[in-house]
Amino acid sequence: MSTRNCHECHTPLTGKRTKFCSDICHYEHTYYTTQGKKRKQQHTNCLQCDSDLTEGQIRFCNSNCNSNYNNHQRLVNAPEGEVKEHSTLGCYQQKHEGKWVLQHRIIMEKVLGRKLTRAEKVRHINGDRKDNRIENLEVYTGVYRTKENPHGIRVIDKVANMLSLLKPDELTTIEALIRELRNKPLYLN
């Protein structure tokens, strides 16, 4: 009876294994294909948590790291427009221009016809963060934050405050601008 040896390290095979003594030897042997091209980069650290891999571990240190990595890849490679629930905020996120953005911000940007600034916040009037109807959304600016109003001041209140500070001739200029804006459509199609 002839003894079978591992194709990689040439140690005698035991048990039911037919070509390789371990998964590591199998991986090492198939590291290069038959055409001599590099198969895959050999990893020494876990792809998810970057901890050192031990014998028998090829890409991940445990199954949790494997599933977390695959879930992350699924979210990164999600199609444009896909919607998911935010894990901590309790509202919806949508894939927009390659990034995950809060859906109520996307809706408000479409209504306003411009990008929101970082200081501008979108508030849900009825408090339900999953209710993204335009009637339920309101823009705030992130200034003058208080305990009672953590999102700042409403834009309409800020504009009214600023108008009260203007001189009479400046107010007539603003009135002329408002008349011009009335002729332009408010919503984008």
CB 129 within 8 A of CB 118: no
The domains of the chain are located at 23-76, 83-182
Q: What is the pLDDT of residues 179-189, one digit of tens each?
A: 888 877 655 44
Largest pairwise CA distance in the chain? 108
- pLDDT recorded at residue 108: 93
Kind of pairing between the strands at 99-102 and 120-124: unpaired
pTM, to two decimals: 0.48
Of 140, 179, 171, give the one whose Cα is nearest residue 157.
Answer: 140
Query: Tens digits of per-residue pLDDT, 151-181?
Result: 556 677 777 778 888 888 998 998 888 888 8
The reported pLDDT for the residue numbered 144 is: 56
- pLDDT, one tens digit per residue, over 4-62 is 788 777 788 877 777 888 877 777 776 654 455 555 556 678 888 888 888 777 788 88
